[in-house]
Amino acid sequence: MILEYFNPVEKNVLDFTNKLSSTNFGNKIGINGRDGFDGFEKTDIVVFSINDYRDDQSVKKSFNADKDFRKKLYGLHYGNWKFKLYDLGNLISGDRVSDTKFAIEKIIEHCNNNEVFVITVGGTQELTSTCYNSLKRCLNKINLVTINNRVDFVKNGNVEESYLSKIIMDEDNKLNQYSNIGFQKHLTSTDEIELIDKMKFEALSLGKVKSNLVEAEPILRDANIVSFNIMSIKSGDINNAHQYPNGLTAHEFCSLAMYSGLSSKTKVVSFFENWDFKIINSLLAESVWYTVDGFNSRFDENPHDSSEDFITYFIDVDNYKFKFFKSLITGRWWVEFLNDELINVEKDMISCISNDYYNCKNNIISERILTRLKNKITWI
């Protein structure tokens, strides 16, 4: 039984929900400790908290979700949502970190097999590799996105210790695409930036996010796992809780959370590296809310499945042939590379935005499209 992995939500939090109105989050969802669990076949989203930071000895953090976070989340007003959400409670930390990871893998795998969307809060970002390992059993190709102020190819000066390196060097590697959103160049070594280009990964710097947040949407649209790091938020927006003055605003962080929930491909959204700090708990509660709100607005569409719902545009740029698709329903864009003789792998759609189309009209191939083409053409 899945609830065996969890401690129920504490009584003081359940008592708090009795003081809330019927429209508040805490009185609209199922809660472990108050409500029975009807099983995954009757559940659309599960949320659970993690308080295990042993995987990173360089940090000393603790997160008791029942202390403040859940009260902040439960106190928010529930949206006009028709799905069923269940709070599984607090994950029981194992005797060893490996035991905790085993439990997370089993939970996420079981949820994915039952088409249940997972939101986790707490723990170190090292647990991203645990989320990846769980989906390896379910998916043939995995797209991973991290939202962080740096690219974590190195940990404690050792490449082999970082969670990203473990994923990349995995013998049974199913990583199709890795993308980072929000990295800061002064916090990222030139070696790491060069590795991003060498591995044909995608990285959207903080400056690019600031100039146009919509640039991040296509990246998140294709994601299977989205891993948020609290350190990506500028310190001034969270009462100087950490030492980094530059970063995403609270609004941008919540917007990226909404994009993550909106993607019909996303299976897991995790918020890592947080600790018991009131303003952080408030922001996390709102981030979870916007993730759920994004989920509510999901619309699964594919230009190849319903051509009548799309406008198509054909553009040639320097002998490259592109076919752009614009959805008449959502306004979203995709692009397909048509030079069959140059493609060395299976052809697929690239999520994009209108700017990518207009750039191509002006004989400019955007960085987003070039990065994806590097994975398809051997000599580009």
| Residue 345 confidence (pLDDT) above 70 | no
With tokens 């969802």, the residue in question is 29
Least confident segment among 52-56, 278-282, 369-373: 369-373
Binned at pLDDT 50, 70 and 90, residue 379 comes out as: very low
Name which residue leads in pLDDT, 302 or 56: 302
Section 158-173 average pLDDT = 83
Please tell me the predicted confidence (pLDDT) of residue 306. 77
| Residue 322 confidence (pLDDT) above 80 | yes
183, 203 Cβ separation under 8 angstroms = yes
Helix (H) or strand (E) holding 353: none
Name which residue leads in pLDDT, 169 or 352: 352
Looking at residue 380, its amino acid is: I
| Residue 113 confidence (pLDDT) above 50 | yes
Binned at pLDDT 50, 70 and 90, residue 123 comes out as: very high
pLDDT digits (tens, 9 = 90+) for 237-279: 999 999 999 999 999 999 999 999 999 999 999 999 998 999 9
Question: What is the torsion angle, in degrees rounded to the nearest 10, for the CA atoms of residue 307, residue 311, residue 316 and residue 320?
Answer: -40
Looking at residue 155, what DSSP letter applies?
Answer: B
Query: Using CA atoms, how far apart are residues 25 and 291, in angstroms rounded to an integer?
Result: 14
175, 133 Cβ separation under 8 angstroms = no
pLDDT digits (tens, 9 = 90+) for 203-247: 999 999 999 999 999 999 999 999 999 999 999 999 999 999 999
Share of the chain above pLDDT 90, in %: 77
Please tell me the predicted confidence (pLDDT) of residue 160. 60
Looking at residue 145, what DSSP letter applies?
Answer: E
- Strands 268-272, 310-317: pairing kind: unpaired
Q: How far is the CA of 227 from the CAs of 126, 136, 144, 247, 271, in angstroms?
A: 10, 16, 8, 16, 6
Least confident segment among 45-59, 107-121, 178-192, 228-242: 45-59
| Residue 172 confidence (pLDDT) above 70 | yes
Please tell me the predicted confidence (pLDDT) of residue 343. 55
Section 319-337 average pLDDT = 94
- Name the burial class of residue 308, with classes exposed (0-12), middle (13-18) and buried (19+) by CB atoms within 10 angstroms of its CB: exposed
Looking at residue 161, what DSSP letter applies?
Answer: G
Please tell me the predicted confidence (pLDDT) of residue 162. 86
Please tell me the predicted confidence (pLDDT) of residue 347. 58
Residues 6+ apart with CB under 8 A from 34: 8, 9, 14, 17
Please tell me the predicted confidence (pLDDT) of residue 159. 60
Please tell me the predicted confidence (pLDDT) of residue 380. 46
Query: Using CA atoms, how far apart are residues 202 and 20, in angstroms rounded to an integer?
Result: 44
Backbone angles phi and psi of 66, in degrees to 5: -80, -15
Query: Using CA atoms, how far apart are residues 78 and 230, in angstroms rounded to an integer?
Result: 24
pLDDT digits (tens, 9 = 90+) for 79-91: 999 999 999 999 9
Question: What is the torsion angle, in degrees rounded to the nearest 10, for the CA atoms of residue 226, residue 348, residue 139 and residue 90?
Answer: 20
Share of the chain above pLDDT 70, in %: 93
Exposure b/e, 24-35, CB count within 10 A at least 16 = b: bbbebbbbbbbe
Please tell me the predicted confidence (pLDDT) of residue 341. 63
Please tell me the predicted confidence (pLDDT) of residue 158. 62
Rounded to two decimals, the pTM is 0.95
93, 124 Cβ separation under 8 angstroms = no
pLDDT digits (tens, 9 = 90+) for 27-66: 999 999 999 998 998 999 999 999 999 987 766 778 999 9
Please give the structure tokens belonging to residue 136: 């390896």
Looking at residue 175, what DSSP letter applies?
Answer: E
Binned at pLDDT 50, 70 and 90, residue 346 comes out as: low
- Calculate the average pLDDT of the chain: 92
Number of Cβ within 10 Å of residue 243's Cβ equals 7
Binned at pLDDT 50, 70 and 90, residue 339 comes out as: confident
Q: How far is the CA of 98 from the CAs of 5, 54, 94, 95, 218, in angstroms?
A: 14, 10, 7, 8, 34
Section 128-149 average pLDDT = 96
Q: Which domains does the chain have, with CATH numbers?
A: 2-296 (3.40.800.10), 307-374 (no CATH)
300, 293 Cβ separation under 8 angstroms = no
Query: Using CA atoms, how far apart are residues 82 and 31, in angstroms rounded to an integer?
Result: 17
